[in-house]
Amino acid sequence: MVTPQSDVQVEQEKNRMFVFKPGVSLDEIVQAVNNVGASPSDLVAILEALKSAGALRAELIVI
């Protein structure tokens, strides 16, 4: 027997957003990401995404 349930609740944490000025340093990016509680793997993923988008001029070496 299937019992339909149409009462759905969604909770969403407050998302923080970053706005950086051109010429921001890597240290400032890392500090901002760390301040929102991102894990080290999140930080690496963010840096790789920035690099892939052409928004980060740096050589990333992940070991």
Share of the chain above pLDDT 90, in %: 19
How much is the average pLDDT of 5-14? 74
| Confidence at 55, pLDDT banded by 50, 70, 90 | confident
> How far is Cα 41 from Cα 43, in angstroms, rounded to an integer?
5
**Could you tell me if 25 and 34 are in contact, meaning their C-beta atoms sit under 8 angstroms apart?**
no
Q: Give the amino acid at 38.
A: A
Query: Average pLDDT, stretch 33-52?
Result: 90
For the cut 80, the answer to whether the pLDDT of residue 6 exceeds it is: no
pTM more than 0.85: no
Residue-averaged pLDDT of the chain: 84
Q: Give 48's contacts (C-beta < 8 A, 6+ positions apart).
A: 60, 62
